[in-house]
Amino acid sequence: MKVSTTKKLRESVAKAFMWMAMFIVFGFVISVIWTVFSKGMKAMNWDMVSKLPGGGFYIGKEGGFLNAIVGSLYIVGASTVLGLIISIPVVFFLNVYLKRDSKLAYTARMAFDVLFGVPSIVYGAFGFTIMIYFGLRTSLLGGIIVITLLIIPIFIRTMDEATRDFPRDILDASFSLGATRWETLRVVLRQIAPGIATATLLSIGRAIGDAASVMFTAGYTDSIPTSLSQPAATLPLAVFFQLQSPIPEVVDRAYAAALVLTVIVLILSISGRLITNRFSKNKI
Amino acid sequence: MQKTRFIKDKTAQAIMFALTIISILMVMVMFVGLYLKSASVLEEHSLWKLLTSSEWRPMKGEFGFLPFIASTLWVTFVAILIALPISLLTAVFLTEYAKSYVKKFVFPALDILAALPSVIYGVWGVLVIVPWISKHVAPHFMDFSTGYTVLAAGIVLGVMVIPLLVSLFIEVFSSVSMELRECSLALGATRWQTTKKVLFRRTYPGIIAATVLAISRAMGETIAVLMVCGCVIGIPNGILEPCYPIPALIANNYGEMLSMPMYEAALMFAALILFFVVLVFNLISRIVLYRLEKRLGS
Amino acid sequence: MRILKLIIVLVTIISLVTVSSCGGKKSNTQTGGDLEGSITISGAFALYPLAVKWAEEFQALHPNVRIDLSAGGAGKGMTDVLADVVDLGMVSREVYPPELEKGALPFASAKDAVVITINANNPLASKLMRHGISQETATKIWITGEYTTWGQVLGTNDKTPIHVYTRSDACGAAETFALWMGKKQEDLLGTAVFGDPGLASAIQADKLGIGLNNIGYAYDEKSRKPNQGLLVCPIDRDNDGNISPDEYFYDTKDDFIAAVAEDKYPSPPARDLYLVSHGIPKNPVVIAFLEYVLTDGQKQNVPVGYISLNEEKLQAGLEKLHKQ
């Protein structure tokens, strides 16, 4: 009987620890969200999202961070489109054209996993050297290039996961009807559309929040870029640069920017989750 | 008519093939690119000296990376120390114990943690963690601390890494077949005993691989760490000392790079070290995870 | 298939739009007397507030010109301009020979100073303000680390520790400050904070902190007084442990810059601020901007809180600019 009580005790202790772990996790989430929201809401007003910073973003007391909002939108929009164009063909190639256990597929997936794990600052440093080599300046274009490089592995990996479980029968049915692989694309696309949607949302979320890669390559400015060769402000850098100022109005802009960034990312993340839940047959 | 379709297919295949190959080559290109850029500093100094000396005087051409490597290691260690138990317990709870309504809450929470940009974690770190350390933790141990310490960076990193670890662990745990668990329970083991003796034993390579991946993620994290680490050059002597991890070094000084001959090469070398370590860790852990999933028969 | 087509259409539209706006990239011309084009400037935090004012005024004079400003430290400014990443670099220290060899062409455009900042709520603040900090003391705080308590600074037995701060980014402020003590930025001890604003914030948050700042961040632009929570610690020039009325001019920005202009504040840490270009500028907008800075722009110096340069230096700059 002693044996069973120790067993039970261990069980309860383990359970207790697990609940603690959960609470800690929740605690962190709530703490982070609460900090951002409380500081951000206090600083937030309509000016913040509709005006450019007045008098220089480091010391100017008026205005908002419209420059960062638009800059981020430009960069993320362009990168997402470019990323999709490059990633979708690759995913198709890996899953439809290649055999299941081909060496090339294995190596490719390995390479993408590695690229997925490369820190964004390495992308930034690498992107910076490429830019200098080609004579580009810190600009919208530079930011777009680096962010595209950054999110391609994310796209590929997420879409690959979705496509791997693709039922072979549908492909076979299509082939038996005489369609080429290129034409079967249509079928596959329709099937994995939710996967593409989730991947897009995920990548946008990652792209819009990343600071280390744009630091070197997109620069920063008070105005909205009107051409690809002008520097572009981004939301994460808006937070980073303005947070450290001794001038309270500037710090407020940082908090408001952090709030906007967080809200955008949360919306993307929730939508992503909703899509997966709606369309996925997998229970967890 | 048939011919055009055939041509379309083949062209498409060629383009896709090219894109795939280019993407794979990216890894090489990045490695080679960074290596070429670091060439000048590698010529002048032996690799050993670069990695083990603590003299960092760029003006004089001395580049000892040890303080930065040590800082990175310290911070990563603290982060994993915090994240590992929490993530492990959470993952076990979610796969073995939880009812679906609990999962409904936890998964969104983890999603949020995973999605938050690192700058936001940095803000949280500066507003919450740093003052907490400065006012409540440090006074017990020392005279004063600004709060910008290894511990601050470790906590922030730890929180950032939790979602990654949990999702990897869940992946690994889910691949163990239900039957194995049921056998164990049928033999009279409690849930926890089953977990400890059956689950962990079968999946410990996976657990280790996941941890290794998390480590590589933690080592590369830049902005959040930059905002709370203190940026003081030197080997940290304890977790309440400020530190200067490699990504922070690169981020702070990238602007300076070109004005001094070997400074750029040195910073690119730092990026190369990071890239190399991440590359190796990722490759190994991915291979292990892959083999494990195959073995457990998912 | 439809999705693919949609994507292709979107991409085409976006590329058309961007290509057409790219047209504006190289057209830095003078069309019929009205300047148009865009220039980018980056560099020292020190010069940033003044550069903002110059840019504002210049863009008001020439509405078709766009000036992009960012700050990242003098080191970054120099790097950027030598790499042709920006048109002009803001540098708040002397230009080094290797940089001159690479083609750096400095134009002295203003003068300001680095000051020692302490927290306004420092328990020993009033004593410190009367005692001042001499070059020797500063060396013992920031270079040798011999002084670790405020008592040592004041010559008393007070054991309250000093929390020393410096700059983590390569900047003119720290470089100039170190030069005052005969050293380089990398020799400075202390917790390193990024950027001038960052350092000022750190001192605001730390009662026992001591740091170095540019005038632009130590003093509030509108009120002309030190920023809230900060005090500017006087420099004890004659090393007598006492700040005489002659040595005290730190209450407002205007008092201070007047003193710097009269050489009452040592130079370094007062120094010339430069706009640096890579070789003689060819871009008409850059040339026009530099001309403005060296002539009418100087009227903005004092109101913003900097010292104007004397005629000689300005003339020399203009000559350099127009040398063909």
User: pLDDT tens, B98-108?
Assistant: 777 888 888 88
Question: Which pLDDT belongs to residue C24?
Answer: 36
Residues of chain A with pLDDT under 70: 1-3, 279-284
Judge whether residue C211 has pLDDT over 80. yes
The CA distance from C243 to C235, in Å, is: 8
Interval C92-117: pLDDT, tens: 888 888 888 888 899 999 988 899 99
Query: Among B73, B18, C62, which residue's Cα sits nearest to residue A89?
Result: B18
Q: Are A18 and B223 in contact (CB < 8 Å)?
A: no
Supply the DSSP symbol for C133. Answer: B
Judge whether residue C84 has pLDDT over 70. yes
- The verdict on B59 touching C (C-beta cutoff 8 Å) is yes
A243-247, B134-138, C94-98, C293-297: which range is least confident on average?
A243-247
Instruction: Tell me how close the Cα of B119 comes to any Cα of chain A, in angstroms.
Output: 6
A191-195, A208-212, B176-180, C172-176: which range is least confident on average?
B176-180
- The verdict on A230 touching C (C-beta cutoff 8 Å) is yes
Average pLDDT, chain B: 84
pLDDT band at B181 (very low <50, low <70, confident <90, very high): confident
Question: Reduced to 3 states, what is the DSSP secondary structure of residue B290?
Answer: helix
- C-alpha Rg value of chain B to the nearest Å: 23
Summarize the confidence of residues C305-309 as an average pLDDT. Answer: 84
pLDDT band at B155 (very low <50, low <70, confident <90, very high): very high
Judge whether residue C32 has pLDDT over 50. no
Question: Which pLDDT belongs to residue C13?
Answer: 59
Sign of CA dihedral A126, A132, A138, A142: negative
Judge whether residue B80 has pLDDT over 80. yes
- The verdict on B45 touching A (C-beta cutoff 8 Å) is no
Question: Which pLDDT belongs to residue B1?
Answer: 62
pLDDT band at C20 (very low <50, low <70, confident <90, very high): very low
Instruction: Tell me how close the Cα of C66 comes to any Cα of chain A, in angstroms.
Output: 9
Judge whether residue C28 has pLDDT over 80. no
Instruction: Tell me how close the Cα of C78 comes to any Cα of chain B, in angstroms.
Output: 7
| Residues pairing with C111 in the sheet | C272, C307
Query: Among C207, C195, C228, C212, which residue's Cα sits nearest to residue C133?
Result: C212
Query: Among B246, B247, B243, B239, which residue's Cα sits nearest to residue B133?
Result: B239
Task: Let me know the angle formed at the C-alpha of A72 by A157 and A201, rounded to the nearest 5 degrees.
Answer: 30
8 Å CB contact between C209 and C103: no
Q: Please give the C-alpha separations between residue B97 and each of A11, A124, A222, B200, in angstroms, as whole numbers.
A: 12, 42, 52, 15
Q: Are B259 and C202 in contact (CB < 8 Å)?
A: no
The model carries a pTM of 0.85
Contacts of A230 in chain C (CB under 8 A): 38, 40, 66, 68
Interval C231-258: pLDDT, tens: 999 888 888 888 888 888 888 888 888 8
Backbone angles phi, psi at B58, to 5 degrees: -60, -35
- For chains A and B, CB pairs below 8 A equal 256
C-alpha of C157 from chain center: 37
Residue in A closest to C21 by C-alpha:
A227
Among B111, B123, B247, beta carbon nearest to A119? B247
Question: Which pLDDT belongs to residue C26?
Answer: 41
pLDDT band at B28 (very low <50, low <70, confident <90, very high): confident
8 Å CB contact between B41 and B63: yes
Q: Are A56 and C204 in contact (CB < 8 Å)?
A: no
Omega of the bond leading into C268 within 30 degrees of 0 (cis): yes
* Portion of chain B with pLDDT greater than 90, in percent: 17
- Of C60 and C194, the structure prediction assigns the larger pLDDT to C60
Residue in A closest to B18 by C-alpha:
A90
Question: Which pLDDT belongs to residue C9?
Answer: 58
H helix and E strand count, chain C = 14, 11
8 Å CB contact between A253 and A53: yes
Judge whether residue C1 has pLDDT over 60. no
Among A138, A220, A246, beta carbon nearest to C217? A246
The CA distance from C238 to A144, in Å, is: 56
Question: Which pLDDT belongs to residue A2?
Answer: 57
pLDDT band at B46 (very low <50, low <70, confident <90, very high): confident
- The verdict on A58 touching B (C-beta cutoff 8 Å) is no
Instruction: Tell me how close the Cα of C63 comes to any Cα of chain A, in angstroms.
Output: 14
Question: Which pLDDT belongs to residue C41?
Answer: 92
Question: Which pLDDT belongs to residue C242?
Answer: 83
Residue in C closest to A197 by C-alpha:
C3
The CA distance from A271 to A267, in Å, is: 6
pLDDT band at B84 (very low <50, low <70, confident <90, very high): very high
Query: Among B162, B240, B230, B175, which residue's Cα sits nearest to residue B202?
Result: B175
Specify the length of chain B in residues: 298
Contacts of B242 in chain C (CB under 8 A): 191
Q: How many CB atoms lie within 10 A of CB C186?
A: 17
- Of B263 and B224, the structure prediction assigns the larger pLDDT to B224
Question: Which pLDDT belongs to residue C10?
Answer: 58
Contacts of B59 in chain C (CB under 8 A): 184, 186
pLDDT band at C5 (very low <50, low <70, confident <90, very high): low
pLDDT band at C8 (very low <50, low <70, confident <90, very high): low
Question: Which pLDDT belongs to residue C215?
Answer: 86
Give buried/exposed letters for C92-121 (b at 16+ CB in 10 A, else e): bbbbbeebeebebbbbbbbbbbbbbbbbee
Among B15, B86, B190, beta carbon nearest to A21? B86
Half-sphere exposure of C134 (CA within 13 A, CB side): 14
- Of A92 and C32, the structure prediction assigns the larger pLDDT to A92
Question: And the tokens for C292?
Answer: 């403005």
Q: At a CB cut-off of 8 Å and minimum separation 6, what does C295 contact? A: C314, C318
Question: Which pLDDT belongs to residue C54?
Answer: 92
Q: Are A229 and C48 in contact (CB < 8 Å)?
A: no
Interval B185-235: pLDDT, tens: 888 777 777 777 778 888 888 888 889 989 988 988 899 998 888 888 888
8 Å CB contact between B20 and A111: no
Q: Does ipTM come in above 0.90? A: no
**Residue reference for tokens 């990216």:** B26
**Residue reference for tokens 């034993």:** B201
Contacts of C80 in chain A (CB under 8 A): 138
Question: Which pLDDT belongs to residue A284?
Answer: 37
- The verdict on A266 touching B (C-beta cutoff 8 Å) is yes
